Structure 1
Amino acid sequence: MHGEYFNKEIYNNKVLTFYKKLIQKYYEYKRDDEYSNYVPKFDQEIFKKYKCLVDLHDNLGKLLTNKHCKYATSFVDLYNDIFNTCYGDIYSGLCTEIENLRKDYETIIKTSECSDAQKTLPSIYGNNNLVIIIMPLVIISLVSFLLLMVYKVNKTFNTKKYILCYRLIKYFQSFILSNNFFI
């Protein structure tokens, strides 16, 4: 519904022009350099990314309601186009939303009857091989350290327990011998 309105190039240019004028007027009024750095960063590229996001949403919605396989292939094509720009970017809100759409697509496509559609899409976050390698090493080190600590504590506790028992026995022996209980 709103995607058709935002898809128009004229609207995108008007919003960008309005945004730049608004920031410049604010800068003139405020006499502060705080927001002047953001004016050149907000450009046409943002609208292209937003258009891609809207198109992904539209194709996913049409796939869910119409059950046509052409929307699945269209979704996969759009996803693959934006995949390289977002791959490994874990801090971008756009990439996070696209990852959420990927998960939604995979759940929808599992129940659909599109046999030729791609069932899974690669994750934008990718497989972090460093985590896969380091996690077992950390777990093994932690378990080894804990076993060593348990052994030391147990050994110390047992040693103290034997020393305490030995002292109690000696005390009772000396007490019994000094008071001549059994004589």
Structure 2
Amino acid sequence: MSSLSSNATPDPARFIKERVRTIDGWPQPGVQFRDITPVLQDRRALRVLIDLFVQRYIDAEIDTIAGLDARGFIIGPILAYELSIGFVPIRKKGKLPYRTLSQSYELEYASATVEIHEDACKPGERVVIVDDLIATGGTMMAGKQLLERLGAVVVEGAAIIDLPDLNGSKRLRESGLSLYTVCEFGGH
């Protein structure tokens, strides 16, 4: 057996999930924050994670990866690079320097507004939206709406973590958005 095959990860999704840290009571009481920084710090975990996304999209007909502020900015550009396609940031309000479109939405514990440059993509461009997790689905839904206002075709939403008890993934699927997530955590 070669050294490459002996290093294979038998269950990549479980491998990633085991490296996600849970922080109780942050940013407010009752919230269980799912922290991906241990995944990013571990070179093997980061490679496994990116490889999962690359394998998902390598043969897909997509033109662009759109990353949601802020942790979608970590995974999104790496994925876009690996797929040899462009990257578009969807940022919190007031962070983009050019003319923008805005979309407000509700989070699990606050409200927010995201923006995209008005020339971020062309009509008909096929886009995958990337973020670290899906909670209520508000951020990804707002990103989808912004991209569609520009005429893009949102092929899929992708995230490392799904929090199904918060119903965001259900809400997104009901809106017609196909989803891909690496792992899920029950509870809030």
Task: Give the TM-score band, short-chain normalised.
Answer: under 0.3
> Given the two structures, how large is their TM-score scaled by the length of structure 2?
0.24
Return the structure number with greater relative CO, CA threshold 8 A, min gap 6.
Answer: 2
> Given the two structures, how large is their TM-score scaled by the length of structure 1?
0.25
Structure with larger Rg = 1
Which has the larger share of helix? 1
Which has the larger share of strand? 2
